Chains A and B, each alone.
Chain A
């Protein structure tokens, strides 16, 4: 079974631009979560989607948004990029969203904002 895939793996943008990151979950997984990882703040939860609906949300500004498609693939968007948005963005999937099972993480997208 293929793992979680994220595209692109690396991205360089400038301040003020917007960016869209993509995540394809493991086949059959319907829950997708997004995390931001920076050296200073560590791994922080952004949001989770299940059945095309946002189920949980972390403490990030409205510039961070996401969506999920009917095939469970998910995208996250960051508008008006700031230097502090430079980070590794990780996507994780699991079969459902209530049960306590492990999450499977993708390799991440490393975003650099100049």
Chain B
């Protein structure tokens, strides 16, 4: 998998947008960027994925730079329930099941 780098922790005030960055400078042209999150004591939860274009769903938006070397996950209106560890992953195309989770970013949403 392409190596990804994320800050270890971030804070965000409830109601504000949370912008979580991820660097993946070694990503190849056909590797997608996936985001998962893990709330304490639960299994990871899929959030969103993208290849080149920006993506949006009911949970979040994903902004991928034109050179694809980095991306940002945006939670538009963070709530306390969004407190979790967020993982940015770029798996090889042929081994999409073999996800390699790094240490992720621990997002703390506060009042």
Contact = CB atoms under 8 A, between A and B. Distances in A.
Given A42-B102, A42-B103, A33 B97 contact: yes
A102 B46 contact: yes
Main secondary structure of the interface of B (DSSP, over half): loop
B71 to A, nearest CB: 16
Given A42-B102, A42-B103, A100-B32, A105 B45 contact: yes
A31 interface: yes
Contacts of B81: none
Contacts of B95: 56
A64 interface: no
A43 interface: yes
Give the interface size class of chain A: 20 to 34
A66 interface: no
Interface of A: 4, 31, 33, 35, 42-45, 48, 55-56, 58, 90, 92, 94, 97-108
A31 B96 CA distance: 11
Contact of B96 (A44, A90, A100): A100
Contacts of A58: 98
Contact of A43 (B45, B49, B101): B101
A48 B98 contact: yes
Contact of B44 (A43, A44, A45, A94): A43
